[in-house]
């Protein structure tokens, strides 16, 4: 890693903090931009499928909800390689060997876990029927998922390579690759969904194939850019790819599996909220979808800061620098929470402007939806702060290779007070949809408080390394 934020001379306290914040921002903004562009890649798929009709759109929406949640969770499993790489760089001994083996095993894990996911997607239709979806929608979703599932392999490989280049201080490469994927996704969908340039019109299946094409070109782009960069090339991560190192493989599973369960806990709760809204009414479900989309876009920035925090904290963890760990973690928390304060303010003062990104908020047919959405955005303004905080705090703890306790904090916080509040206020009081959103807020507050306590008491919990001499 370059010496961003770490100087050979000992700076004064104020200078050290300024340097750390600058280093965090330098690492976080390309990752946040890549996160936002990745959402655009998924949005392009939906845009093209929407032109096929309401039934295909419904099938695709359900498919993306299932596949997207599982994919997001597996990125937590493989993405922990960034913490291992950062720690190796911080230690400064045997760096090439450690980085190469950790990255190679992360690629193995990506291929294995993605293959399991792809095979599981052949049961997509059965899952949709089990959740009470219509037979026609379930059949289309099953066909779509059977093809889309195989895109998981290149997608997870992209996640590993993105973690690799980011941990080695080349995060802009991730932004460039995902930006390229946006263009490829649009072209591939245009060609394969509707049939252009001599290709047959494949409909929804064409969009699923377009996802694979987009992801595999992303892998090729990463390989080309890594091989063209002297520093990235010097670790030879593609050499002897067939040679296993089971100690790193096990380490990635031990550290990454709790992250996967953490993501499933959060994603599962938010997906449950959508099903609950559907039981209350169409207008409230539509309003929920719009408000949550805005919150999800805003979340991509602190999510990028969280990824940066894992790397920055992980570097100091490997170096045995406790002061550096504290600066890196708190700097990331300030940056991530500070951004969410800005988006929270926008949700409070300009909700109609934000909603106009999706619909005409003054159109009579959307009056009820807009009314509910404005109310939900007020709650979203509050939970933005806690959502951003818990994401960055979790990322900082991952830099300390602490994932099991945060998993339990998430499981308990999201699924006990959070779900209980949603069910009680949503179905036992007149609050209905607002009650469900208050339940989401309660969950995020509890999880954020738990992670803050874990971070504050990191020394007492034995999470810190022995102070370097």
- Over the stretch 209-254, which tens digit does the pLDDT of each residue have? 999 999 999 999 999 999 999 999 999 999 888 888 999 999 999 9
Indicate whether 11 pLDDT > 70: no
Longest dimension (CA), the chain: 69
CA distance 43 to 115: 24
CA distance 419 to 112: 33
Confidence of residue 50 (pLDDT cuts 50, 70, 90): confident
Indicate whether 444 pLDDT > 70: yes
Confidence of residue 89 (pLDDT cuts 50, 70, 90): very high
The model scores a pTM over 0.85 = yes
Determine whether 73 is exposed, middle or buried from the number of CB atoms within 10 Å of its CB (0-12, 13-18, 19+): buried
CA distance 238 to 174: 18
CA distance 469 to 44: 52
Q: What is residue 10's predicted lDDT score, i.e. its pLDDT?
A: 52
CA distance 465 to 322: 7
Confidence of residue 61 (pLDDT cuts 50, 70, 90): confident
Q: What is residue 197's predicted lDDT score, i.e. its pLDDT?
A: 87
Q: b/e per residue, 22-46, with b = 16+ CB within 10 A? A: ebbebbbbbbbbbbbbbebbeebbe
Confidence of residue 461 (pLDDT cuts 50, 70, 90): very high
CA distance 177 to 226: 11
Residue 133 DSSP class: -
Cβ neighbours of residue 150 closer than 8 Å, sequence gap 6 or more: 118, 212
Pairs from 18-22 (Cβ < 8 Å, separation ≥ 24) = 20/312, 20/324, 20/327, 20/328, 20/331, 21/331, 21/334, 21/335
Task: Tell me the mean pLDDT in the region 273-282.
Answer: 82
Would you say 287 and 376 are in contact if contact means Cβ atoms under 8 Å apart? yes
Q: What is residue 3's predicted lDDT score, i.e. its pLDDT?
A: 43
Would you say 238 and 157 are in contact if contact means Cβ atoms under 8 Å apart? no
User: Which spans in 281-321 are helix H?
Assistant: 282-319
Average pLDDT over all residues of the chain = 90
Q: What is residue 1's predicted lDDT score, i.e. its pLDDT?
A: 47
């Amino acid at each position: 890693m370059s010496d961003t934020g770490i100087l050979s001379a000992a700076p004064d306290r104020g200078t050290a903090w300024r340097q750390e914040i600058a280093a965090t921002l330098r690492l976080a903004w390309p990752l946040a931009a890549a996160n936002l562009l990745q959402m655009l890649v998924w949005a392009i798929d939906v845009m093209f499928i929407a032109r096929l009709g309401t039934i295909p759109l419904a099938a695709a929406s359900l498919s993306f909800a299932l596949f997207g949640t599982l994919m997001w969770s597996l990125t937590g499993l493989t993405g922990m390689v960034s913490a291992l790489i950062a720690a190796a760089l911080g230690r400064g001994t045997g760096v090439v060997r450690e980085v190469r083996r950790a990255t190679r095993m992360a690629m193995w894990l990506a291929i294995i876990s993605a293959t399991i996911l792809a095979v599981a997607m052949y049961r997509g239709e059965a899952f949709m029927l089990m959740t009470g979806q219509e037979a026609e929608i379930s059949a289309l979703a099953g066909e779509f998922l059977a093809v889309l599932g195989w895109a998981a392999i290149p997608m997870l490989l992209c996640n590993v390579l993105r973690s690799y280049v980011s941990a080695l201080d080349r995060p802009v490469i991730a932004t460039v690759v995902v930006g390229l994927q946006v263009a490829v996704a649009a072209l591939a969908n245009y060609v394969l969904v509707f049939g252009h340039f001599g290709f047959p019109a494949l409909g929804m299946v064409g969009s699923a194939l377009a996802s694979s094409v987009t992801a595999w070109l992303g892998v090729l782009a990463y390989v080309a850019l890594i091989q063209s960069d002297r520093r990235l090339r010097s670790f030879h991560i593609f050499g002897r790819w067939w040679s296993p190192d089971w100690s790193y493989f096990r380490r990635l599973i031990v550290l990454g599996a709790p992250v996967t369960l953490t993501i499933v806990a959060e994603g599962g709760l938010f997906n449950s909220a959508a099903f609950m809204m559907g039981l209350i009414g169409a207008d409230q479900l539509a309003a929920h979808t719009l408000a949550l989309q805005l919150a999800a876009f805003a979340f991509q920035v602190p999510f990028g800061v969280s990824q940066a925090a894992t790397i920055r904290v992980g570097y100091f963890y490997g170096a045995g620098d406790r002061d550096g760990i504290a600066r890196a973690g708190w700097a990331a928390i300030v940056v991530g929470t500070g951004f969410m304060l800005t988006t929270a303010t926008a949700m409070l003062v300009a909700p109609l402007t934000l909603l106009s990104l999706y619909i005409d908020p003054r159109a009579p047919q959307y009056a009820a939806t807009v009314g509910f959405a404005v109310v939900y955005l007020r709650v979203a303004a509050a939970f933005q702060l806690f959502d951003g905080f818990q994401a960055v705090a979790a990322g900082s703890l991952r830099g300390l290779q602490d994932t099991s306790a945060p998993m339990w904090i998430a499981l308990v916080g999201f699924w006990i007070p959070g779900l209980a509040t949603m069910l009680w206020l949503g179905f036992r009081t007149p609050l209905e949809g607002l009650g469900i959103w208050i339940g989401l807020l309660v969950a995020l507050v509890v999880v954020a408080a738990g992670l803050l306590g874990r971070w504050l008491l990191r020394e007492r919990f034995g999470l810190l390394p022995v102070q370097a001499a």
